[in-house]
A and B are shown apart, each in its own frame.
Chain A
């Protein structure tokens, strides 16, 4: 039941027009709505003027050389130009105001999250003054509702762009440059985001999920993420851990509390608690996980994870182990 429920929720809300945060709301209410109305009205006026000019009844005695008529026409054109200029100027002022509001620096209470773009997944890190409290996860960003969050954006390979449309505008992740943006969720929920800058073969499947939750459950989640992975309790999961450590997995993935510590691919310490797999591509179910491990290239052709020819028993044990990583 629970996986089904999750599947139906997946992939979360994903729209500019349903703002769930201050920035997105400012852009939608402060810019898009007035712009849409103004543009529609102007469009209607211009098309109406065009149709009138095309279809108006011509009187027999009109002459082109009538200077009064020329003057009137010139005046109309000048007036239209003046109105255009004034509308644009008003728009410029509104735009600057909204721009200042969306980028105003948040207070000291802001939560800092570091997001690093990789081909084609997102590394998410919650830093702390104590290094052992650092939390590293992937493709899923938990934030507390009602608290500003500063997202530091970096890239290790090519340019990506971080964009959760319900919460905030986008910002590029450029190798060698440090960018950041801030956002704040008004209500709890799951908001989908996707890479917006063309970044290679799997640009299409490089999504993430922002999970906004009340601050106490966020604190609980963060505390849970700080734990190292659970020790396997039964023989199946023990076997699964052996498979994990004995196969290609630890060459790229880390599981805290085990010898696996590579940072090439996503950190799997709490894989079982995540809602999606493969950067927001698949709901996190056992079947999807199995398919992903065995042949990722069928799901995301070009992804950096190679196929893994595991025997059925090994695969089942591995899946059982990975599901304990909650």
Chain B
């Protein structure tokens, strides 16, 4: 099997045997490569994202975590001079093919950004933003907005001031609002790019609790360079270095007993 090839080869990915045998796969990439102008950022990545689980993508800064995530919802196309090769399969269809309208792809693959980016609207309108685009009116919005806010444990904190500006919330609340905003659209996959990067430790822990609960609701891809966070939260972990997917395994094994030398160096802090 090519996936189980020699452990110290640079170019191939090490996937533990029978890793995904008993879970459904929500999203899968095949030979995904990315270039900005002439520079290749990602090299032929084959990644499987298990449904209703949390997959942590770890790796040093600049290794391509954010770029990989932004390939999965085609947000890289907003960057001038980007070129993508390969496939991103969701429900058996290739998201990168021209037949899927890009905004519908992004509805199914939600994203949360490193810095909280609430829109300068009310709390309510922030959550309702994506649904309003689908033509829903206020009467039909109340229920899904409440659902989404409850799902991120924000409802009790803001129920009495839904029309207050979202920018008045604390950073931790803003980040949970951003998650609620994405959840309201019922995504199949939720991409989280360093969601705790701008939060204090307290809010960060709060967010991790939330992630663990959400992980039973949809597939989550969590990009982080915080190894403890990845270990605490995720079910599976993938290690990326220099734009190459090195190893993917269940989190415990990857951290305690990595198959590849590079992974071991990184998780034990001997990287670089």
Partners in one complex: no
Q: Which residues of B contact A (CB under 8 A)?
A: none
Interface positions of A (Cβ within 8 A of B): none
